[in-house]
């Protein structure tokens, strides 16, 4: 896990987020999707996928931590 956090810290970027209504089931989750969209992130990693319905993601891939780790390990091979 430390390796993943180190990689994220090294490759992270700063981004400006526009405040927009994303109409998610839980309004408290909207800032996370807004940041992912503003940064053109490849993935939004969350253990709470049900609150990010596919029709609301605006093209952002939302994955679980386990799914992300599998994708990351495969890409690192």
What percent of the chain shows pLDDT beyond 70? 100
For residue 30, the Cα-to-chain-centroid distance in whole angstroms is 11
pTM equals 0.76
Indicate the helix (H) or strand (E) that contains 35: helix 30-38
Residue % of the chain over a pLDDT of 90: 68
Kind plus residue range of the DSSP H or E element containing 61: strand 61-63
On average, the pLDDT of the chain sits at: 91
Tell me, rounded to whole angstroms, the distance of Cα 25 from its chain centroid: 16
Distance CA 68, CA 16 (A): 24
């Amino acid at each position: 896990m430390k390796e993943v956090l180190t990689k994220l810290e090294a490759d992270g970027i700063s981004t400006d987020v526009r405040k927009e209504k994303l109409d998610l089931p839980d309004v408290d989750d909207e800032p996370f999707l807004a940041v992912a969209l503003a940064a053109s992130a490849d993935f939004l990693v969350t253990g709470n996928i049900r609150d990010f319905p596919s029709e609301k993601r605006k093209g952002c891939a939302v994955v679980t931590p386990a799914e992300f780790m599998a994708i990351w390990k495969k890409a690192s091979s």
